[in-house]
Amino acid sequence: MNTISGGGSYPSPSHTSLIDVLFPGFSMASASAQQLLAGNLDSYTRLFCSLGLFVLFARYAVRYVWDIVRSYFTSTIYVSYYDEAYDMLVDWIADQPFVHNAHSLIARVRSTQRTSNLYSTKKKPVTFSPWDGSFLFWYKGHLLILHCQVKEHREDLRISSIGLNANILKSLIEECREKYLKGTQKKVSVFEHREGEWKKAKLRPVRPISTVIMNTELKNEILRDVDEFLDQDMQGWYAERGIPYKRGYLLFGPPGTGKSSFSLSLAGKHELDIYTLQLSNISDSTLTRLFSELPPHCVVLLEDVDTAGVGRRDSVDADQENESKSAVTLSGLLNVLDGVSSQEGRILIMTTNHIEHLDEALIRPGRSDKKIHFKLADQNISIQLFRTVFKQLPNQKQCNEEYDDETIEAFARDFASKVPDQVFSPAEVLSFLLECKKSPSDAVSCVESWVAKAKY
């Protein structure tokens, strides 16, 4: 028997009582308390030590009991930071009253979907949201607990309820989903690559495809092809014939010709999310994982593929072969596009400023089903741009001199005749027109001097 000074003994380890099973270490703590209280201490010291032991035991007991309750008598739904359900939940949380009384908050000088404005000013509003803690709230008569766990400056969420039936939690998530979808109507969700995962980066208003200035016949040809691919019965048609259900487009041409704008408008027209990816500094394994996590119907935008080190194989020299191993290889890219594990149901759009730098294997049919050349501005595009800036729209306040449509049309043709074809990008022409947006006559009278300065 092991003894200590002051008398008494600890229970033999070979005999375990029921209370030690339920509360491990209780007997040892109890024996220590008895020996402490049996000592020659004054009454205040004994009282203080007793209170300390009681508080310690109470905290231990409450935590232990709660762990049992949480493990066997509660339901929990976990929400990962990188899943879109996270955005659905935090958007719903931002409007709930319990946020105002949360004991742990994070303050941000910006407006986000996940925050609730407790204090705002016209400039740089301060916003607050729950952070790193547990928060009680009522939902349809049920007491729920929101847990925010911070991991490396981001947070994972989980919601718990008493009871083994998770239906109330599923009902909450479904309400979050419905509210989220209403808030994203007429908007395009743009996802970007972050730490090896897809994460929604922003919401962009849907830009009508009619406002994208490009060759009209070419635009209509692409739209017909996409409409046909996304037809409700087309997936079955592909499956019956054993053809992979996917479509690829290569948009090539100089910078500023509208390749990215067209991709965004195309996604908005068909209410599809767009997943944008820069191939530089991404490994083959990361690229494979990202493609495997794509939803069944979406637009994947690979921008500037010519700058990602996946150009022509015969142009790769020894220095390029020894570059960082984190870059995507041509074989890795080809595998995710049409390999055994390639994702179906998606529309792939690749953009490049230099199609001549791309390997033929990357742009062959099946990977790039259609190649669309976005050219510099010609007379037709210059006319369309002029109309876009100066034509008066119904029910809108006029911001320039009042001219009827016939006058604007005459100005547009006069303007286009003074802009040389295939010299300036549509973005450059539009930039000049916006400088003169209040006066179409000034745009016409100043265009020649602008052309002379811009060319040299």
**CATH number of the domain to which 317 belongs:** 3.40.50.300
Strand partners, 349: 249, 301
Are 211 and 331 found together in one domain?
Answer: yes
Q: Are residues 351 and 254 in the same domain?
A: yes
How many domains would you assign to the chain?
4
228 and 287 in a common domain: yes
Query: Is the domain of 209 the same as that of 334?
Result: yes
Q: Report if residue 11 sits inside a domain.
A: no
Q: Are residues 67 and 82 in the same domain?
A: no
- Residues 251, 252, 254, 260, Cα dihedral to 10°: 20
- Both 405 and 355 in one domain: the answer is no
Domain boundary among 322, 350, 373: 373
Q: Do residues 138 and 101 lie in contact, with contact meaning Cβ atoms separated by under 8 Å?
A: no
Whether the CB-CB separation of 386 and 412 falls below 8 Å is answered with: yes
Residue 183: predicted pLDDT: 87
Q: Are residues 115 and 175 located together in one domain of the fold?
A: yes
Angle between helices 440-455 and 379-390 (to 10 degrees): 140
User: What Cα–Cα distance (Å) separates residue 350 from each residue in 99, 259, 300, 325?
Assistant: 43, 9, 8, 23
* Phi then psi dihedrals of residue 373, to 5 deg: -90, 115
- Tell me the β-bridge partners of 194: 197
Of 373, 389, 405, which residue is a domain's last? 373
On whether both 98 and 157 belong to a single domain, the answer is: yes
275 and 177 share one domain: no
Is there a domain that residue 13 lies in? no
pLDDT at position 322 is 40
Regarding whether 363 and 214 lie in a shared domain, the answer is yes
Same domain, yes or no, for 60 and 79? no
Q: What is the 3-state secondary structure (H, E, C) of the chain?
A: CCECCCCCECCCCCCCCHHHHHCCCHHHHHHHHHHHHHCCCCHHHHHHHHHHHHHHHHHHHHHHHHHHHHHHCEEEEEECCCCHHHHHHHHHHCCCHHHHHCCCEEEECCCCCCCEEEECCCCCCEEEEECCEEEEEEECCEEEEEEEEEECCEEEEEEEEECCCCHHHHHHHHHHHHHHHHHCCCEEEEEEEECCEEEEEEEEECCCHHHCCCCHHHHHHHHHHHHHHCCCCHHHHHHHCCCCCCEEEEEECCCCCCHHHHHHHHHHHCCCCEEEECCCCCCHHHHHHHHHCCCCCEEEEECCHHHCCCECHHHCCHHHHCCCCCCCCHHHHHHHHHCCCCCCCEEEEEEECCHHHECHHHHCCCCCCEEEECCCCCHHHHHHHHHHHHCCCCCCCCCCCCCCHHHHHHHHHHHHHCCCCCCCCHHHHHHHHHHCCCCHHHHHHHHHHHHHHHHC
Predicted pLDDT at 1: 43
> Domain range spanning residue 218?
202-373
- Domain end call among 346, 373, 400: 373
**407 belongs to a structural domain:** yes
CA neighbor of 246 nearest in space, from 336, 367, 330: 367
Q: Quick check: is 193 in a domain?
A: no
Q: Could you read off the pLDDT tens digit of each residue along the chain, which spans 456 residues? A: 444 444 444 444 445 565 555 555 556 556 655 655 555 555 556 666 667 777 777 766 666 666 666 667 889 999 988 899 999 998 898 888 888 888 888 887 755 444 444 454 467 777 778 888 889 999 999 999 999 988 877 888 999 998 888 999 999 999 999 999 998 888 999 999 988 899 999 889 999 998 889 988 899 999 999 999 999 889 899 989 988 899 999 999 999 999 999 999 999 999 999 999 988 778 889 999 999 889 888 999 999 898 776 655 554 443 344 444 447 888 889 888 886 656 788 999 999 999 999 999 898 888 899 999 999 999 999 999 999 999 877 665 555 556 888 999 999 999 999 999 999 999 999 999 999 998 999 999 999 999 999 876
Residues 248, 300: one domain?
yes
Residue 352 domain-assigned? Answer: yes
Q: What is the pLDDT of residue 270?
A: 93
Tokens representing 330? 């041509």
Nearest CA among 163, 176, 189 for reference residue 72: 163
Q: What is the CA radius of gyration of the chain?
A: 33
